[in-house]
């Protein structure tokens, strides 16, 4: 072996020890940034800023998740329209009933009957209408609570921050964070339609 060949071999052996970055060096960082944590584990997210970053970086780019969020939103919108229409139908039924009573009273008045004092059945009808509306409102309230729980489970399954983890934050803070996360999800579903 000549001296030149030996020197080349020596240079080749020392090359990996120089300041050439390797994959191992890049992954050996002992303190990962919060962005690294949020991009891989949404259940570990405990700050709103990290949650919003995760949503904007990860969820926005996942077309399957965005499609499921749109489906959830449509499901909620359909229920809200149905509940509102049901209540309006009840109110319209009561309005028609009162108009019919007024017409009957007018006919009786024209025929000489006494319509000045409401009959007990009219007062009872108003009380029954109020009770029926209150029952309907309670039914809608309970259905809306069930919908919220169902949607929360679905968002947890989609690995959405503050839904997929049992955060150690205060319940009021958790609800506020969830509301802001939902706003961000709505924004994403609106942007890409």
**pLDDT tens digits in sequence order for the chain, 193 residues long:** 444 444 444 444 444 444 444 434 433 343 344 445 444 688 888 889 999 999 999 999 999 999 999 999 999 999 999 999 999 999 999 888 888 877 877 777 777 766 555 555 777 788 889 999 999 999 999 999 999 999 999 999 999 999 988 666 678 888 899 999 999 999 998 875 5
Identify the pLDDT of residue 69.
95
| pTM above threshold 0.75 | no
DSSP alpha helix (H) spans, the chain: 3-14, 23-27, 34-40, 48-54, 63-110, 120-157, 171-191
What radius of gyration do the chain's Cα atoms show? 33
Non-local CB neighbours of 183 within 8 Å, separated by 6+ positions: none
Q: Which residues of 120-158 are buried (b: 16+ CB within 10 A; e: fewer)?
A: eeeeebeeebeeeeeebeeebeeeeeebeeebeebbeeb
CB atoms within 10 A of CB 97: 14
Structural tokens at position 29: 């960082």
């Amino acid at each position: 072996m000549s001296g030149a060949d030996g020197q080349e071999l020596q240079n080749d052996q020392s090359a990996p020890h120089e300041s050439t970055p390797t994959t191992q060096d890049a992954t050996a960082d002992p303190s990962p940034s919060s962005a690294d944590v949020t991009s891989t584990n949404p259940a570990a997210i405990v700050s709103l800023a990290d949650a919003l970053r995760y949503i904007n970086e990860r969820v926005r780019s996942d077309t399957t998740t965005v499609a499921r969020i749109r489906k959830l939103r449509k499901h909620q919108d359909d229920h809200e329209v149905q509940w509102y229409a049901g209540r309006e139908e009840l109110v319209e039924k009561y309005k028609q009933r009162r108009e019919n009573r007024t017409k009957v009273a007018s006919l009786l008045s024209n025929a000489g009957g006494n319509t000045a004092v409401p009959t007990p059945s009219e007062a009872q009808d108003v009380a029954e209408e109020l009770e029926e509306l209150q029952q309907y409102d309670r039914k809608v309230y309970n259905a809306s609570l069930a919908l919220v729980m169902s949607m929360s489970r679905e968002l947890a399954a989609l690995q959405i921050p503050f839904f997929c983890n049992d955060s150690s934050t205060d319940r009021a803070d958790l609800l506020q964070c969830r509301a802001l996360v939902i706003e961000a999800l709505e924004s994403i579903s609106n942007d890409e339609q």
